[in-house]
Structure 1
Amino acid sequence: MDQSNQNWFSSVEAPIKVSSRDAVSWDESKDLVVVGFGGAGAATALQSLDNGLSVIALDKFAGGGATTINGAVVYAGAGTSIQKEANIADTADNMFNYLKQESEDIVSDETLRDFCDTSPEMINWLQEKGVEFGSTVWHKKTSYPGPEYFVYHSDNSLAKSYCKHATPAARGHRAYVPIEEGRKATNLGYAIFNPLKQSALDKGLLLETYHEVRQLIVDDNQEVLGVVALYFDDEKLLKKYQKLKKRAERLLMVLPPILPGYNFFAKRAMAVLEKAKILESKRSQKMIEAKMGVMLSAGGFIYNADMLNHYAPKYNASLPLGTEGDDGSGIRLGQSVGGKAENMDCISAWRFINPPLSFGRGFIVNKHGQRFIDELVYGATLGVEMVENQEGKAWLILDKKLIKAALEEVSGGKALNFQRDLARLNVWFAAVKASTIEGLAEKLSLPADALKDQLETYNQAARAQNGSDIFEKSDDDLVEITGPFYGIDISLDAKLFPCPALTLGGLKINEATGQVLDDNSNVVKGLYASGRNAIGVSSKNYVSGLSVADCIFSGRRAAQHISGH
């Protein structure tokens, strides 16, 4: 991709072209250079080290990436040791039949089957590297279980329409964190990343943090030979830079994005980050040789507003889910040497409404007053349907008894803090109330006749309890809705109900090896991609833990090819 193209939207530069390896005065030389040290980078590095290679990993920041900020969930099945301990019946075929509904044709059946077949071994490998898992099971539908539960249905497997193709099995494997720390669903991924990082360091990994890669180095045959890294060789400058970064991070965490006043702190944080950016111009550069390959594992591009606006403008109003490192640079590096990016408009938008379960027992309508989905499907399934096919607009329709039940369901420590706060905030400050459905329609600017018809149809299915719901919602979750009526705006741009999103597109790769492919499906020699830099199992539809699992799977797969195993 030509850097002068208006759609480049990146600090990545055109590659440095040399005649041969010998024409470069290398500052460092290793068998493998890993660009981006999160879950995929750590898996690649550790497997490569196990296979006897020398490895250097470079990260623009401190390392860990989006893996460290997630809920420490790994999607695994086919009869893992944890599933067996929890008495959960599952097979590779069953896991495949379920995931085929989510992945569709984004990867080949052969790759998907390999992912499922090797899933138990992946959990064993993680345990061998020091990752601990719990085996207590939460059997019901939820966006995220309480801190005492470590295995849950982190997908759509309990939804009736999915049960037709695969038997439900809990596959969300939460890495163990102390219960007192587990009353949140973010910033727990250290339980996965830290053991992998330490294992890699123990095996001889050279980890260079605050090293940004903006250029690849290629020879006359377009083979990738290494990278150019920018870094602070002045320790005082580095410490000043880190201090500014931490200050900005603290400002961004003062208030949740849903609360009034967040923008004030966010603007101050951006001003601090601008000061940090000035310091970046004072960095030095080094040339690092990759004798056997360069791995691109630097995350997605949800934090690159220009790229998001270009590829997926429908999602501009979403809340970025990731880290500052998710700027698309890894994908752009691949493109700079001819790599082809695909599925770049595919975004996972998370519209989770359960818990409280009673929210999911209401019904959701679009701006035409029409229902369009089983309200208790996985949150990302709901979010993507809302954005892609319903113009990003949706309202949750409830009644007084469901509102009362919802508040009870999140009280007294029955839900995690963010689940409780979102429910209360929307009931107390966002819910619109009316004694009649026509009155509610008027207040929400929805077609009254359509909303009334939808209410009658929904209530009819709830009364019948015979599996007659048009969207195959479980009879157990169908509740007759009577006045007074409440409506909550859950649109993509809802002010008090933020919708987090992450990107799923990436570089096209040879699925058997992890090698980056060009527009003609030819291999870009010396270049690999994994995790959210590459098209993988989770690049069509996301379910919790699937991206981390794909990071481990794709990183290890590429490492095996690089080392000839």
Structure 2
Amino acid sequence: MSARPVNIVAAESITEWSAEVDVLVAGFGIAGGCAAVEAASRGARVLLLERAAVAGGTTALAGGHFYLGGGTPVQQATGHADSAEEMYKYLTSVAREPEPEKIRAYCDGSVEHFTWLESLGFEFERSYYPEKAVIQPGTEGLMYTGNEKVFPYRDQAVPAPRGHKVPVPGDTQGAALVIDLLVKRAAALEVDVWYETGVTDLIADPDGTIVGVSWRRPGETGAVRAKSVVLATGGFVMNADMVAEHVPWLAEKPFVLGTTYDDGIGLRLGLAAGGAARNMKQAFVTAPVYPPAMLLTGLVVNRDGQRFVAEDSYHARTSAFVLEQPDAAAYLIVDSEHMERPMFPLAPFIDGWETVEEMATALGIPFEALQSTLDRYNENAARGEDPDFGKSADFLAAQDTGPWAAFDLTLGKALYAGFTLGGLYTSADGEVLRENGSPIPGLYAAGAAAATLAQDGKGYSSGTQLGAGSFFGRRAGAHAASRSS
């Protein structure tokens, strides 16, 4: 879908204001809800506009991982030592263009943010899920959700699990519980919420200070004056023009993760106001081959029969490397000793073969190249080594007992899903920044509307969207509220 152009409306042209508030928040997902609640808790008069008929946005579809660390109560209870410094080193190492001030703020404030989240009315279970998985199958409160134990990151920061899961079983909609609690907290703080009402334009004074928004709902339009505006309207994965311009491969075959309203409205408004964007060509995309984790003892090869990634990588890292291969084609190969069928095979099982030569022929891979790769892998695995990609010994096992099986990781064959990671350039307090780093007075952004931690698909960790979205949503709300005092 394409979207209507946005404008910056002159304040002097507005003849009637629908309302006047201290802080106007656009979007009631995790970032917007946290911004509104934080601003209201500091005494600001807050109005929240949400285009849908209910709160939640894309957050309501999420499994419920929050990436938190530095020694949270769950980490402590399960015996996992961590520090803000090690968390900082890890997030810096996986960021594409790290912004130290923001990463430092996130890590230093992580334990306090954990406590704040629980103050909404739930508790992360003080338990640990030790298996390699996309998300905990039950209500376990902690697991590894990134590349912390993957080479080279394990040598750059002491590994620690930081994927804190909301205590809802299953792999979707766990975050909806947090949204429900934010709705209740917002009501208790007398945040005014207008549903089925979307921001259409920003309103500015002659000097460029943002002083309000224009809005629209079925059969009605208007304008709200505000001392600060927080854009928390999601990403742009549903905007065909923006996807075509910045991440065209995302439109080819993956299933996109988002709602109808992830059309980039906040990003476009921020750019129209003079803000800059970051990370626009980056997206999260994945088709996990695990669980079962046993499959990760196998090897992933491209059409030339060559390995190109450590198979124990976080699923999105592996997927990002797959998309860089010729024809975005790759295969996971396992022998009969390590073959297990996934319950939900996103990378489909192709077939099994009695010999490597038969497999190579069926997959269209040069036999000599595949056999050579397999031999080298097996020889090293037997020694518990992977000098080529640094795969952990936990997932090294010779694949030398036929028959052999293959799973298809190829784009268009595997069921890939993705979302955009680019957004507005912001400060650690959520201020929308110009290209020169100066803030646009009165304008903030958080969540997927902002390029918060500048990650790409290879460096993403599950839980950073909810974790950073909620954390910097609060920061934006607090700073926005300070402008009204």
Q: Same fold (TM over 0.5)?
A: yes
Instruction: Indicate how the Cα distance of structure 1 residues 489 and 222 shifts in structure 2: closer, same or farther if over 3 A, else same.
Output: same
Find the aligned partners of 1:45 and 1:560 in 2 and give their Cα distance.
9
Quick one: which amino acid aligns to residue 71 of structure 1?
G
Judge conservation of contact 2:301–2:331 (CA < 8 Å) in 1.
yes
Residue 186 of structure 1 pairs with residue 172 of structure 2: yes
Q: Residue 422 in 1 paired to residue 323 in 2?
A: no
1:340 has 2:273 as partner: no
Question: What is the aligned partner in structure 1 of residue 87 from structure 2?
Answer: 95
Amino acid at match of 2:468: D
How far apart, in 1, do the equivalents of 2:73 and 2:186 lie? 24
Helix, strand or coil at the partner of 2:23: strand
* Partner AA of 2:367 in structure 1: A
The separation in 2 between residues aligned to 1:41 and 1:390, in whole angstroms, is 41
Structure 1 residues 307 and 379: alpha-carbon distance in aligned structure 2, compared to 1, 3 A threshold: same
Q: Does 1:441 align with 2:333?
A: no
Greater mean alpha carbon deviation, residues 45-54 or residues 384-393: 384-393
Provide the rounded CA distance (Å) in 2 between the counterparts of 1:468 and 1:508: 39
Instruction: Give the 5 Å matches for 1:519-534.
Output: 519-534=435-450
Residue 14 of structure 1 aligns with which residue?
7
Contact conserved, 1:150 with 1:176, CA < 8 A, in 2?
yes
Counterpart residue identity of residue 232, structure 2? S
Cα displacement string for residues 245-301 of structure 1 (whole angstroms, at most 9, x for unaligned residues):
xxxxxxxxxxxxxxxxxxxxxxxxxxxxxxxxxxxxxx21121111x2111111111
1:55 Cα deviation (Å)? 0.5
TM-score, normalised to structure 1, is 0.81
Deviations 1:70-97 (A, max 9, x none): 1111110101122222222111111112
Which of residues 176, 195, 212 in structure 2 aligns to 1:226? 212
C-alpha contact (below 8 Å) 1:135/1:149 kept by paired residues = yes
Which digits, 9 at most, give the CA deviation of each residue in 1:361-389, with x for residues without a partner? Answer: 11111222210011111011112222245
CA contact (8 A) 2:49 2:197 kept: yes
Query: Which ranges of structure 1 fall in alignment gaps of 5 or more residues?
Result: 1-7, 233-282, 411-419
* 1:392 counterpart (304, 328, 335): 328
Q: Give distance in 2, aligned partners of 1:50 and 1:154.
A: 32
Q: Is 2:65 aligned against 1:73? A: yes
Say how many residue pairs are matched: 478
CA 1:224/1:376 → structure 2, altered by over 3 Å: closer, same or farther? same
From 416, 419, 441, the equivalent of 1:499 is 416
Q: Does 1:42 align with 2:42?
A: no
Unaligned runs of 5+ residues in structure 2 are none
Q: 2:186 maps to which residue?
A: 200
1:485 equivalent among 404, 429, 437: 404
Query: Per-residue CA shift, 1:144-190, capped at 9, x if unaligned?
Result: 1221422111111222432212222111111122xxxx1x2112211
Distance in 2, Cα, partners of 1:535 & 1:476? 34
Which of 243, 246, 251 aligns to 1:311? It is: 246
| SS of residue in 2 equivalent to 1:402 | coil
2 CA distance for matches of 1:293 and 1:300?
Answer: 21
Q: Report the equivalent of 1:546.
A: 464
Q: Deviations over 1:443-483 (max 9, x none)?
A: 11122222111111111112222x24411112231121132
2:306 to 370, 375, 380: 370
Q: Is the deviation greater in 294-303 or in 139-148?
A: 139-148
- 5 Å-filtered alignment, 1:43-442, equals 43-61=34-52, 62-107=54-99, 109-177=100-168, 182=169, 184-232=170-218, 283-290=219-226, 292-316=227-251, 317-388=253-324, 391-403=327-339, 406-407=340-341, 420-422=343-345, 426-427=348-349, 431-442=350-361
Asked if 2 retains the 8 angstrom alpha-carbon contact of 1:538 and 1:550, the reply is no
Deviations 1:85-130 (CA, angstroms, capped at 9, x unpaired)? 22221111111122122124332x2321221111000010111122
- Match of 1:294, SS state, is strand
Contact 2:74–2:127 (CA under 8 A) maintained in structure 1: no
Q: Find the aligned partners of 1:564 and 1:228 in 2 and give their Cα distance.
A: 23
Identity of aligned residues (%): 31
In the superposition, the TM-score normalised over structure 2's length comes to 0.94
- What does the per-residue CA deviation read over 1:345-370, in whole Å, with 9 as the maximum and x for residues that have no partner? 10011232121112211111122221
Alignment RMSD = 1.9
Question: Comparing 471-480 with 71-80, which one deviates more in the overlay?
Answer: 471-480
d(CA) in 2 for partners of 1:287, 1:324 = 23
Runs (4+) of structure 1 exceeding 4 A deviation are none
CA distance in 2, matches of 1:57, 1:78: 32
Instruction: Provide, for residues 514-556 of structure 1, a one-character-per-residue CA deviation record: whole Å limited to 9, x for no partner.
Output: 2112234332222111111112125443211111111112111
Partner AA of 2:163 in structure 1: G
The whole-number CA distance in structure 1 between the counterparts of 2:435 and 2:83 is: 37
| More divergent stretch after superposition (337-346 vs 500-509) | 337-346
3-state DSSP of counterpart to 1:164: helix
Assess if the C-alpha contact under 8 Å between 2:42 and 2:481 holds in 1.
Answer: yes
